[in-house]
Structure 1
């Protein structure tokens, strides 16, 4: 007698082969493009209404067929549709571009959407990979893309994790194919550094937030920030510059940055805001801002009545009892502009000019800043 994993009550043949066929159709129909990471096994099992063991056997079939690739430490991906020799092309003859980002779950999905929109319109395919903020994975993924023969690269390297980020940026110039950085730039470039990049003007975005709070009458604005992320240094510098530019008061312990904010740390921070007479906080990013709102209310402060809050990132800022006013980086525009620059470099070769593009974010005003109250009310 066959097990439930081996036989389906209504379909002939082993169940894992039927699961493999459904996954294969998803690839063939374009639901998962070349280079796309597949959902995790639990999600696939739930979607297909089979066991995880069945999913593993189904994926094994597609790996053996070359439809799917397993990448050690990274996950399972649709294989790039690459010809055996020559430039990377899809079966229809399209060129392929490699896109390497730190995450496919937070911040970067909208960057990738912008990339895909431009490349799709240009008839260029995408091989997408995530480094998962791991330098070893990043190295392997970049090498894998080179080996696949992609004709260009869009990269968001983990410069903030590297001992010599400028050395790494310099080393990228040895790549035998054109590339453009996204949301990253060489940290200490020579004046004639030829690296092309597209990123968010983080300094400008922070200034937008603090100018808005200043217009609402706030002079004592704290900063709850992060350390050692890809953008934390730029955001922190933007805060310091905006405080000076706008003539805001120094707030001592209410300027605090950590690698990770836990519940206890945020509770201590709220007490520091009260001690410093802080009436508003600029917070990097959304999730810490949401936790700050919860803790402030737990300590008896109303938001925005006693404490206005503005977040940075605008990923989940709308979720919660008090929707967060947020600086919204132009993620899709960054991806689209980077793709346009790369296409130009792929077409023009060495004649392509270096371009350094910074795009100003928007400020999305919601309930957490109390914008409806008159300026000077604080």
Structure 2
């Protein structure tokens, strides 16, 4: 069925009943619910309907005409509702959520949350659930880096509401260039850690990281630092460390010693603390024999030897993303072009790199 035909069918139903539900229209027209949401969004932009929780109603003026019971619209003209999908309710993402919530509330918007448990399919399910609830825009953190997910993210570009991608760097393979992106500049974060270590005289800097969407950017940042500061390429790098495997920490430390590396960048805090303890049992002194920089800074300051750490701007990422999305909702098409916003992490110097 063509859009014009669907449009007429939706308008006819709204005028007849005063309101329609997405699920009912989708079933009646034999199209997807996402298609109906897009149609309703276009009709709402033209002032022909008002988008509400799970469907559409007559515009405000028609609803309040003599003889018709007034209906309070959700999200349009009163208070925006912003949906947010994150891959986990971890410490990292909780701070992003808190930032988004504080910005949304300060701008008169409400935040509604979905968690996808690092499942690309669940990303879409959670987004559609939030759309069904009537959100006006989405903050979305896909469960994988955009380049890795590739064509499996095409559905995001077709969503009927404004979308801001959070904590994922733009990648042309994902086809989401027309959307706003707000993320921590993890590449710059690794570069700042290496700059600090190089400034202390370290020429061989190892890298130990668990496999997360952040890890590839840390490696790129260290690559840049190696070139810019003339560092040795002989230090070991492990980018797929399995947390909880003490044996693997020991093997990594063996490689560090064998390569004569004198410093390491470690992602996350937990692994940095465990590596420091492993080094201590080998008789190595922190930082005299091995300087450590943690990439996380959730609890690095609480380590036995307080860890120098790079702190991604988690709260600021959420705050910036939510503010950008609400401004786009307010300004509509006038708020252009799409923005790619990178926020620089901060390095906090502690005893693990300076005596």
Distance in 2 separating the partners of 1:205 and 1:225: 14
Q: Secondary structure at the match of 1:309?
A: strand
1:98 aligned partner: 83
> How does 1:7-46 map onto structure 2 within 5 Å?
none
1:184 aligned partner: 168
Of 120, 127, 131, 1:146 maps to 131
2:214 aligned partner: 231
When normalised by structure 1's length, the TM-score is 0.71
Corresponding position: 1:211 with 2:203: no
Residues 157, 191 of structure 1: CA spacing in aligned structure 2 closer, same or farther, 3 A cutoff?
closer
Deviation at 1:225, TM superposition (A): 1.9
Deviation at 1:185, TM superposition (A): 2.8
Distance in 1 separating the partners of 2:317 and 2:140: 12
Post-superposition CA distance 1:81-114 (Å, at most 9, x none)? x856546449x95321101111222211111111
Distance in 2 separating the partners of 1:342 and 1:165: 23
Distance in 2 separating the partners of 1:164 and 1:363: 28
Distance in 2 separating the partners of 1:94 and 1:190: 32
1:278 aligned partner: 261
2:322 aligned partner: 339
Of 210, 226, 240, 1:243 maps to 226
The Cα RMSD (Å) is 2.3
Of 91, 96, 121, 2:106 maps to 121
1:258 aligned partner: 240
2:14 aligned partner: none
Of 105, 118, 122, 1:137 maps to 122
When normalised by structure 2's length, the TM-score is 0.75
Tell me, which stretches of 5 or more residues in structure 1 are unaligned?
Answer: 1-81, 373-378
Corresponding position: 1:197 with 2:181: yes
Post-superposition CA distance 1:182-213 (Å, at most 9, x none)? 11133235999212111111111111111100
What is the total number of aligned residue pairs between the two structures? 286
Distance in 1 separating the partners of 2:220 and 2:83: 32
Post-superposition CA distance 1:136-181 (Å, at most 9, x none)? 3322211111111100100111124x89623244431110000101
Distance in 2 separating the partners of 1:83 and 1:148: 5
Corresponding position: 1:294 with 2:269: no
Q: Is the 8 A contact 1:311 1:326 kept in 2?
A: yes
Distance in 1 separating the partners of 2:299 and 2:253: 21
Q: Secondary structure at the match of 1:318?
A: helix
Q: Is the 8 A contact 2:309 2:347 kept in 1?
A: yes
1:17 aligned partner: none
